Amino acid sequence: MKGKVAGIVFGLLGLLCAQLGATELFPYLYQRSGFEYKGALTLEMENGLGTRDSGYFGRAGLETGVRFRYGLTDRFNIEGWTGFNAQAGRFRSQAFALEVGFGVLRQGPQPVNLSLSAGFKRDFEGVFIPLLRLTLSRAWGDFDFTLSGLGEFPQASWRDDADIIIGTGVSYKIFAGCRLGLEALGEDLEGFWEKNEAEGGAKFIVGPTAWIRIAKGLECKINAGWVHAATTNIPTRPDLLGASARRDGFLARVAFSVSL
């Protein structure tokens, strides 16, 4: 009898720890997944400098947003985000997004995790953008690998028919409350074959990333990256590159999350 009671107690404690540590499944800033724990709610405050939506190089601005993520089941989740862009301390514009994710394959019964997400966003320029996301990942002990693809379809005549973004991330658990790794992205890859590309061409991003558990249920994710303009297409988005079209730049993103 005592053994059964102890088993139930330890099982409940394990489930609670899993809920509080749910975001450890997503230690990256730019990779998203369709998996979540049922009933788990995560609130996240994000800040980004020089990101794709706020503007690289000559259009650098501060992007601030709030994200929520809720596990409808262990395979379905819903994720929403709203934020604003500021430049020189002044408000510029607001944006929001909503996605529904579904876990197709899960490591254990299957060899990899595979998830699909669909949704939409309204960017800082007021353009409505349907989107589709695919994420593939696998863990080998403390080592984790993620590969993702994102397709965005802006509904504006002066924007591209489709924007293609491919990302990857690797991380290693240094100890129970810390993961260190690397994220790399290829953004607006259609710039390699389209002469007029709305964002001014394809860009590559690479930089270190870290996931840190500050306290129980409180976590922080940090990424800093080098941005390189791989092509210099003719941009159709106004003032995208500023006065001088620099080929190299810097971006950074930090997020604090609370799991409830």
- The residue that leads in pLDDT, 134 or 20, is 134
Residue 245 has pLDDT above 70, yes or no: no
- pTM score, two decimals? 0.82
Residue 244 has pLDDT above 80, yes or no: no
- Domains: count for the chain: 1
The candidate with the shortest Cα–Cα distance to 65, out of 260, 259, 256, 258, is: 256
The Cα 69–Cα 47 span in angstroms is 17
Percent of residues, the chain, with pLDDT higher than 70: 82
- The residue that leads in pLDDT, 216 or 222, is 222
Under DSSP, is residue 231 helix (H, G, I), strand (E, B) or coil? coil
Other C-beta atoms closer than 10 Å to the C-beta of 92 total 17
- The residue that leads in pLDDT, 32 or 246, is 32
User: Which CATH number is 77's domain given?
Assistant: 2.40.160.40
The Cα 203–Cα 250 span in angstroms is 12
* Residue owning tokens 């088993």: 7
- pLDDT tens figures, 171-193: 999 998 899 999 999 988 988 88
Q: What is the mean pLDDT of the chain?
A: 82
Residue 204's alpha-carbon distances to 32, 121, 229, in angstroms, are 19, 23, 7
Residue 164 is part of which domain span? 2-259
Residue 207 has pLDDT above 80, yes or no: yes
